[in-house]
Amino acid sequence: MGADAREGNAGADGRAVGLVRHAEYRKHLTGFGHPERPERLDAIDAALARAGLHEETVALDAPLADDDYLLACHTPAYLALVKEDIARGARELSTGDTSVCSASLAVARRAAGGVRAAVDFVCGGKGRRAFCAVRPPGHHAAASAGMGFCVFNNVALGARYALRAHKAARAAIIDWDIHHGNGTQDIFYEDGAVFYFSTHRSPWYPGTGAPGETGAGKGKGLILNKPFGAGAGRGEILGAFNGALVPAMRAFKPEIVFISAGFDSRVDDPLGGFTLTDEDFADLTRVVLQIADAYAGGRVVSVLEGGYGLEGLGLAVAAHVGAMVRG
């Protein structure tokens, strides 16, 4: 058990909120000046402590995900490439713009494993909601390529695990990171069991997420992209949640809901350009909770993605987790 996996005082009574943390998440070293740095987790821990949220959540451990788990969303060739890159001492994945170190494979396995533990927690009746403070993030990792600071697609793997292991019929992934989750969209583009909804900045990295990208085959109509220009905030994002996401979920009726919780859409984030506030994130969270309560037995797994201004990241996560715990 990691040093950060301590029991909270909430107790697992079926209504509890789980919290995935692990000391090893800080061992993924990205280099001096890199925005996706271990200190992000320090900022989150400090903000949760100030808000008293460690005592109001249930600590969940984060086991290592094995190859079979990772291959549910990633190709054998890509998994082999990650292993080879890290074994030869590469500082960046050969698929592009994702820094790695000697510990990164183990840390990325534990990030995926932490989300798996959260899925077990909410699907096994121990609690209804969980937040996973994991790194490296995941939503840019496609089936055959890592990019955008992401190695494995933590949220996609969690959704597929819920479908296969816990027999959920339908899963929804709601992504409010300022960057479009191209990897998640890629993995589920032709999948009829997963609905992907994204609000994001456009034009912006990674250049995907146009409204016309709606899925194909069995997945046709199950991708819903809502891009906005720089400066978008509460009116646009919350408006998209209420005006587009809520009716889409009414039709889709997910049995488990995931959040790709990227807080780089917060005002003043150094890699952002949106103007969401901490209270806005709490309100977005409440919309998701209402959807989950209506269709999914309250089951929500939220997974950390972006967010690079340390103080703002901590405050936004505390608002998000606070809404999960206290409503």
Peptide bond connecting 137 to the previous residue in cis, omega within 30 degrees of 0: no
Active site includes 34? no
Rg (CA), the chain: 18
Instruction: Answer yes or no: are the C-beta atoms of 118 and 143 closer than 8 Å.
Output: no
Catalytic residue selected from 22, 54, 139, 140: 140
Q: What is the 3-state secondary structure (H, E, C) of the chain?
A: CCCCCCCCCCCCCCCEEEEECCHHHHHCCCCCCCCCCCHHHHHHHHHHHHCCCCCCCEEECCCCCCHHHHCCCCCHHHHHHHHHHHHCCCCECCCCCCECCCCHHHHHHHHHHHHHHHHHHHHCCCEEEEEECCCCCCCCCCCCCCECCECCCHHHHHHHHHHHHCCCCCEEEEECCCCCCHHHHHHHCCCCCEEEEEEEECCCCCCCCCCCCCCCHHHCCCEEEEEECCCCCHHHHHHHHHHHHHHHHHHHCCCEEEEEECHHHECCCCCCCCCECHHHHHHHHHHHHHHHHHHCCCCEEEEECCCCCHHHHHHHHHHHHHHHHHC
Catalytic residue numbers read 140
